[in-house]
Structure 1
């Protein structure tokens, strides 16, 4: 954009780096198979959004005559951030807090949901997407998170059971060293 951005908009524009760093820290800190499963779902959601983008091929809005290289529909930022916010909110409401996290983590949605709202809004404010593009991305992220969470909670495919066995094996291995 031609004018200087306010600090908070610059911060929101760096969401992918911030979320990636926090996610890596969460995986290393908790060593939880559930967190790895959650992150896998977020990555798959982002890949789905990018695939849909390539199929739809809708242009991004033009700002300062700078054309983005990729397409805009749906917003993969909106879909991935919505996946994070939706999954974490459902987990906080329906699952016990992981033993490595403080009990106050159950209040994470109080911070995550407003951050999601600001990120989605910033995609339009920064000229990266249109309202329909971020709306489609938000809907895609919520659907993906709901599906992925249901797979974990229902454990019909044995995903949670297998993940917990792997987590126990890793914990046992780490305790030896």
Structure 2
């Protein structure tokens, strides 16, 4: 093993070049990790909630990445000279990723987020409709984060302004198209049909994001369990 001189490769999934003397450059390096962080959030939410709405959004996000992969190899425009050799730069995959996420989230908040009023459902578990102010604040935060990521790619020298803007436009187009597709499959009943497929049922996927407050429902069930435990303990003492 000591005589092994084979060159080693670097797994550069999170490898970001930045200027260690520049605080803004350091901040941009962290902003460049937002897509990876969002993927962790996606997978965590899907695994913990099994909500099909989150799974569909993540599926669209992966499709957006596939579109970026194809566009880069179709256009074949190089990155700025300073980062030359790190793959094609048109369009920016970071900008496309975060603008898909931001716009799809906003479309969900303003179009799809309408919790149904079902008197038969336990009011304690019912999902609360977000106010317009809350939706606006969430939208501003999402787009501010997306714009910051796009700006960071130019600041770090990974992309030109044009490459970032095209990435933003591609992400917006993918988000609008995927939102239209998911709305159609909902309206036509295809989603309900898919949720009845045995394999999907085996994974326990459900569609309650707009109907049930997941945090409150879990807390209420936990409270009921503690009350029952205290009652049982009191009966044993008597």
C-alpha spacing 1:37/1:94, structure 2 compared with 1 (3 Å):
same
Deviates more, 1:86-95 or 1:151-160: 151-160
Q: Aligned with 2:81: secondary structure?
A: coil
Query: Which residue of the other structure, out of 87, 90, 101, is the alignment partner of 1:84?
Result: 101
Gaps of 5+ in 2: 1-17, 116-124, 207-238
Tell me if structure 2 keeps the 8 A contact 1:152–1:159.
no
Aligned partner of 1:135 in structure 2 is 165
Aligned partner of 1:58 in structure 2 is 77
| Whole-Å separation in 2 of the counterparts to 1:96 and 1:143 | 21
Aligned partner of 1:75 in structure 2 is 92
Aligned: 1:161 with 2:178? no
* Deviation, structure 1 residue 8: 2.4
Q: Taking CA–CA contacts closer than 8 Å with sequence separation of 6 or more, which of the two structures ends up with the larger relative contact order? A: 1
Across the aligned residues of Structure 1 and Structure 2, the Cα RMSD in angstroms comes to 2.8
Tell me if structure 2 keeps the 8 A contact 1:79–1:141.
yes
Structure with larger Rg: 2
Deviations 1:73-95 (A, max 9, x none): 01111111111111110000011
**Higher share in helix:** 1
| Whole-Å separation in 2 of the counterparts to 1:37 and 1:21 | 15
Aligned residues: 170
C-alpha spacing 1:2/1:34, structure 2 compared with 1 (3 Å):
closer
| Whole-Å separation in 2 of the counterparts to 1:93 and 1:58 | 36
Q: Aligned with 1:144: secondary structure?
A: helix
Aligned: 1:94 with 2:111? yes
Aligned partner of 1:109 in structure 2 is 139
Aligned: 1:10 with 2:24? no
Gaps of 5+ in 1: 173-177
C-alpha spacing 1:108/1:26, structure 2 compared with 1 (3 Å):
farther
| Whole-Å separation in 1 of the counterparts to 2:164 and 2:69 | 13
Aligned: 1:22 with 2:30? no
Tell me if structure 2 keeps the 8 A contact 1:33–1:163.
no
- With the length of structure 2 as denominator, give the TM-score of the two structures: 0.62
Q: Aligned with 1:137: secondary structure?
A: helix
Deviations 1:86-121 (A, max 9, x none): 111000001136889875574532321110110111
